Amino acid sequence: MEILDALLQGFATALSPQNLMLMMLGCIIGLFVGAMPGLGSVNGVAILLPVTFLVPPTGAIIFLAAVYYGAMYGGAISSIMLGIPGASTAVATVFDGRPLALQGKADWALVAAAVGSFVGGTVSVILFTLFAPPLADFALKFGPQEEFALMMLAFATFIGLGGDDIPKTIFSIAVGLVLAAVGLDEISGQPRMIFFDLPGFYHGINFLVLAIGIYGIGEILWTLETSQGDVKVSQASFAAKRIVDAFKKLKASIVTIISSSFLGYFVGILPAAGATPASLMAYGVAKTMSKDPNTFGKGNMSGVAAPETANNAASTGSMLPMITLGIPGSPTTAILLGGMIIWGLRPGPLLFVNQPEFVWGLIGSLYMANFFTVIINIAFIPLFVSVLKLPFTILAPIIFVLCIVGGYAPTQDLHDVWLIVIFGVVFYLLRKLNYPVAPAVLAIVLGPLTERALRQSLVAEQGDITTFIERPLSATILVLAVLLIVLPAIKMARQKNNRTSVADGKQP
Amino acid sequence: MTTRSAELLMAVLMGLLSVFLMWKSAELEIGWIPDRGPGGGAWPFWLSAVMLACCIITIFRWWRKATPESRSSVEFMDKNTRRINYITVGSLVALLGLTHIIGIYFSIFLFLLFYLRFVGRHSWLLTGTLSVASPVFLFFFFEAMLKILLPKGYSEPLFYPLYQIIY
């Protein structure tokens, strides 16, 4: 009952004229950003975060959550119409979305994507509403030791589940944490790592500097490199009858859509897993469960619905640890979390106690955003398609300009903008060499929180490091973190052994 | 340069950076202060040490040819990519450099003019419209709505009449 009351309050907050407008604007911008090849929710949120200082925190998070949501929907548009995924989260949508478009059934694919996204979003936001308050209640018991252990768990998931080169992943995390340490040492108040005595380093390196560098400048360099080929836009005709047909066809995919919603939500909760693996897993499960798996990859509507359902569900799932524990479940939520700190909020379980309006306003807005996005999505498809035809040489310089002014606005220091360009180029080169970049963004956001939790725990216990394993909760979390790192490493070593023994002519 | 050489070069450069960061964080106490826990420099120092260790492992794996990049003899950046990257990064650096002198609005105008016309080869009409409209829009958005002053360098006096309109 309590939850229902709070949720109604949340709806009231979300429906205030200003928030409603911000939500719709966010959905539209998100749809566009998501539909642009190369740009996804994380780019949109990173580039737009600086402009949200104009509105109160609740409005700001509603706007950015709508951008996040819209981008998840939008990713499908370019996957289907161009055959290029709008973001990594929509890669699996290409598998069946593109064949459908080539068969002249782009509208069917778009409807499948929209309906899947809508159901996935709705199921996951209901799960979110049910799970968030008890989890936050539980998390109120956490001391700095548990907070530190949780951060370690978040990093461990990137190492264990990220699927990237392990030394390179650890390097990326460490870089993010070191960059976060620049500026004044919070505990002793001494200046730390002031490179070349430049005054700009005294205020530290804001996470946005790295996020805009990587997801703005770096991403565009990446896209300029990869999009050198010609892009072919499929034509879609929209007739009411065909849309009704599409809905009828989609009946066969109901089970897939529901199961992908749950799968997406729970995969989304795990830090590092997020929407991309969720959508690929959902596609795999849908194919395995299907009666005619052979039609997958040739234009099966379930093949479009499954990944789109899962990526939307995962995007809501990744907000659960962000809101309740203060641990982001994806790079996009890492940036949202950083935003919350800038807006003067302290992410974590206390949000539910101290800022109920903020939390429930956000939850209420997720229900609404879901509803608006599906309508705007279907209504604006022809417009999106014409924008998609814009050459990248128009889009790229405009995004660069947005990065530059967006990077300047928060601190109003050109020093930060120079850093954005430097980080953009360096991390683009690192990414080309298969260094994962998302862990660095996660780490720069979590860096100050991690260091504070570590040092607070140690100061309180007179420097006794065993405090982390003496407390049952933090010990359990740390054991989980260690397992997450160790298990994949063992598995990898085993596979390698097997390969060597096969190569030597022995049986594995 | 092949991808294989690029991987080695990057690992060595990042390793050197890690050493620099370790040295820099050692300006503060990096050891254990009795009964207090780690000193102010310990956190970044040991993390930089972890960075260095990762670089050394990457170099070792490069030598063993264990990573896909270390086995790749493909050119790290082809000619077209190099060209577009030099132009893009060069023009961004020029944009920022000019911002210190003539301010951000005129720099953005010149940047868009250059990029749209000479890189994108778009028509003068489109180039002109976007190059003028973008800084004008940004001016009203940032200065009038957000009250955030963007840097104007020596072009500041030109904005005095506009200030009178918006403030």
Task: Render pLDDT for A156-214 as a digit per residue (tens, 0 to 9).
Answer: 878 877 778 889 999 999 999 999 999 988 888 889 999 999 999 999 998 889 988 99
CA–chain centroid gap for A175, Å, is 20
Query: Is A174's CB within 8 Å of B28's CB?
Result: no
Residue in chain A closest to B144 (alpha carbons) equals A54
Contact A331, A438 (CB under 8 A): yes
Q: Find the mean pLDDT for residues B118-144.
A: 91
Does A432 contact B at CB distance below 8 Å? yes
ipTM entry: 0.95
Q: How confident is the model at residue A500 (pLDDT cuts 50, 70, 90)?
A: low
Q: Does A178 lie at the interface with B, CB-CB under 8 angstroms?
A: yes
Which among B28, B68, B149 is the nearest to A192, CB-wise?
A: B28
In chain A, % helix, strand, coil (3-state, to 5) comes to: 80, 0, 20
- Measuring CA to CA, which residue among A312, A310, A249, A407 is closest to residue A69? A312
Task: Enumerate the domain spans of chain B.
Answer: 3-71, 79-166
* Chain A residues in contact with B33 (beta carbon < 8 A): 463
pLDDT in tens, A101-125: 888 888 888 889 989 999 999 999 9
Point out the residue among B37, B85, B138 whose CB comes nearest to the CB of A221: B85
So what's the pLDDT on residue A131?
87
Please check whether residue A473 touches B, CB under 8 A: no
Which helix (H) or strand (E) segment is A30 a member of? helix A17-35
Q: Best of A209, A217, A405 to disrupt the B interface by mutation (most B CBs within 10 Å)?
A: A405
3-class secondary structure, B161: helix
B162, two tokens: 């506009």
Q: How confident is the model at residue B29 (pLDDT cuts 50, 70, 90)?
A: confident
On chain A, the residues whose CB falls within 8 A of the CB of B41 are: 185, 192
Secondary element (H or E) of residue B116: none
CB within 8 Å: B37 and A185: no
Chain B, nearest residue to A392 by Cα: B120
Give CA–CA dist A33/A43, Å, rounded: 8
Nearest CA in chain A to B68: A434
* DSSP H stretches of helix in A343-466: 350-354, 356-388, 392-408, 414-432, 438-460
Q: How many CB pairs under 8 A join A and B?
A: 173
Using 50, 70 and 90 to split pLDDT, how confident is the model at B77?
very high
Q: 10 Å Cβ neighbour count for A241? A: 7
Out of A167, A396, A433, whose CB is closest to B57?
A: A167
Closest CA to A254 of A280, A286, A293, A278: A286
- Nearest by CB to residue A391, choosing from B41, B68, B120, is B120
Contact A36/A78 with Cβ under 8 angstroms? Answer: yes
